[in-house]
């Protein structure tokens, strides 16, 4: 579960050019537009990140006109998404604002409110998840325990991590807005997974199963495993018709690899070994955007995330993913790898 609401300290308040009723304050690595004087540097606040869905309680009712989202219920009456007030990226007087701040008094009495306290549950905050696209198909079980799930943390919550790795060389890839794909061969068995589930590969209606078949992945992976002498998984993003409105305007489904994982050693391959493996497997990697020596704070990384997609110069890219050329395990983050999302993408597509 993503931590969406936490107790944080406001570090900065700055004017917005041309605006006198509002200003911007800094919380973690985020800029939030607020009424002038509402919060001061040093104030402790409840901060709710973008993608928060706030419950329909009196404290949040003022958000109804701008942010109310009704529940999404499927044909069988199952609630796919609860109703509530959805916090998203907005632009006010030219200033991008991400998230929302409240005084600590909105917390139920007795809620721990120390710096960094996770108050997501105490406030009943849920994650806003846009309905999934593509045909999910039948699942055979949970995501296997012998593989890591795909995920990337946002740079905005990693100021301390960024400080620690200044001077380290990172490579950048384009973050693609599709759906997560994993395929593996382990102990002689081939499998395909979505973000959270192991799929039934006999169900040809599933988008990800179709992709695996079209790529001949089972055979390719088996050949690779036989040659290398260890089990392996590939993880990538599936994009194209039927997936996330096919933003890139592709004619066919494609799968762009961002991880090759040595299942036997429980280890990601380093960048160059990964690219060699991807080529050997006859697959394609996610678009490469070069390297940099980290000398950047959150704002600089967000600025770097802006730009159009390598796959289609007419569309905003979703963002960038940064990783060191050699895999690094960080005490706080786990695998050293994180994302910066392009604000222009969020403003355009995140309804």
> Which residues make up the interface to ligand ATP (CB under 6 A)?
2, 51, 150-152, 154, 173-176, 180, 237, 258, 286, 321, 339
What separation in angstroms does the CA of 241 have from each of 235, 283, 285? 19, 19, 19
What separation in angstroms does the CA of 114 have from each of 13, 49, 124? 21, 18, 18
Q: For the CB of residue 258, give the shortest distance to ligand ATP in the complex, in Å.
A: 4
- Which CB sits closer to Mn ion, 25 or 208? 208
What is the spatial distance between Cα 250 and Cα 239, in angstroms, rounded to a whole number?
A: 8
Binding site partner of 237, from Mn ion, ligand ATP, none, Cβ cut-off 5-8 A by kind:
ligand ATP
- Which CB sits closer to Mn ion, 14 or 151? 151
Q: For the CB of residue 234, give the shortest distance to Mn ion in the complex, in Å.
A: 17
Residues contacting 75, CB < 8 A, separation 6+: none
Q: For the CB of residue 73, give the shortest distance to Mn ion in the complex, in Å.
A: 24
Q: Are the C-beta atoms of 221 and 184 separated by less than 8 Å?
A: yes
Q: Whose structure tokens read 């992976």? A: 221
DSSP 197-230: EEE-TT-TTSHHHHHHHHTTHHHHHHHHHHHHSS
Residue 151 binds Mn ion (CB under 5 A)? yes
Binding site partner of 180, from ligand ATP, Mn ion, none, Cβ cut-off 5-8 A by kind:
ligand ATP
- Which CB sits closer to ligand ATP, 61 or 151? 151
Q: Whose structure tokens read 């936490």? A: 6
Q: Whose structure tokens read 């395929």? A: 183
- Which CB sits closer to Mn ion, 95 or 244? 244
Q: Which 261-290 residues touch Mn ion, going by CB under 5 A?
A: none
Q: For the CB of residue 157, give the shortest distance to Mn ion in the complex, in Å.
A: 11
The end-to-end CA distance of the chain, in Å, is: 22
CA atoms within 13 A on the CB side of 350: 22
What is the spatial distance between Cα 218 and Cα 280, in angstroms, rounded to a whole number?
A: 14
- Which CB sits closer to ligand ATP, 14 or 118? 118
Binding site partner of 51, from ligand ATP, Mn ion, none, Cβ cut-off 5-8 A by kind:
ligand ATP
Residue 129 binds Mn ion (CB under 5 A)? no
Binding site partner of 150, from ligand ATP, Mn ion, none, Cβ cut-off 5-8 A by kind:
ligand ATP
Q: For the CB of residue 50, give the shortest distance to Mn ion in the complex, in Å.
A: 12
Query: Can you give the binding site for Mn ion, defined by CB under 5 A?
Result: 151
């Amino acid at each position: 579960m993503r931590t969406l609401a936490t107790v944080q300290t406001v570090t900065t308040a700055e004017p917005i050019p041309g605006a006198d009723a509002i200003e911007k304050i800094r919380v973690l690595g985020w800029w939030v537009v607020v009424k002038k004087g509402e919060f001061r540097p040093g104030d402790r606040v409840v901060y709710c990140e973008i993608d928060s869905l706030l419950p329909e309680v009196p404290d949040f009712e003022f958000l109804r006109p701008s942010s109310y989202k009704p529940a999404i219920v499927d044909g069988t009456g199952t609630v796919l998404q609860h109703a509530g007030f959805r916090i998203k990226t907005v632009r006010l007087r030219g200033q991008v604002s991400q998230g929302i701040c409240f005084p600590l008094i909105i917390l139920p009495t007795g809620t721990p409110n120390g710096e960094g306290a996770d108050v997501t549950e105490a406030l009943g905050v849920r994650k806003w998840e846009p309905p999934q696209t593509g045909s999910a198909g039948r699942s055979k079980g949970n995501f296997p325990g012998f593989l890591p799930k795909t995920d990337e943390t946002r740079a905005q919550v990693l100021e301390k991590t960024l400080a620690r790795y200044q001077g380290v060389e990172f490579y950048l890839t384009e973050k693609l807005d599709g759906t997560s794909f994993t395929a593996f061969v382990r102990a002689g068995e081939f499998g395909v997974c979505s973000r959270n589930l192991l799929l039934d590969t006999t169900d040809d209606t599933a988008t990800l199963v179709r992709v695996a078949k079209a790529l001949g992945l089972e055979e390719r992976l088996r050949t690779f495993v036989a040659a290398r002498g260890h089990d392996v998984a590939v993880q990538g993003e599936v994009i194209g018709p039927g997936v996330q409105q096919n933003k890139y305007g592709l004619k066919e489904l494609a799968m762009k690899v961002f991880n090759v994982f040595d299942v036997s050693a429980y280890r990601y391959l380093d960048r160059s070994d990964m690219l060699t493996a991807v080529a050997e497997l006859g697959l394609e990697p996610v678009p490469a955007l070069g390297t940099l020596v980290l000398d950047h704070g959150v704002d600089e990384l967000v600025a770097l995330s802006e730009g159009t997609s390598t796959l289609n110069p007419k569309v905003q890219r979703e963002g960038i993913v940064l990783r060191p050329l050699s895999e690094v395990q960080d005490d706080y983050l786990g695998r050293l790898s994180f994302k910066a999302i392009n604000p222009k993408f969020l403003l355009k597509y995140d309804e």
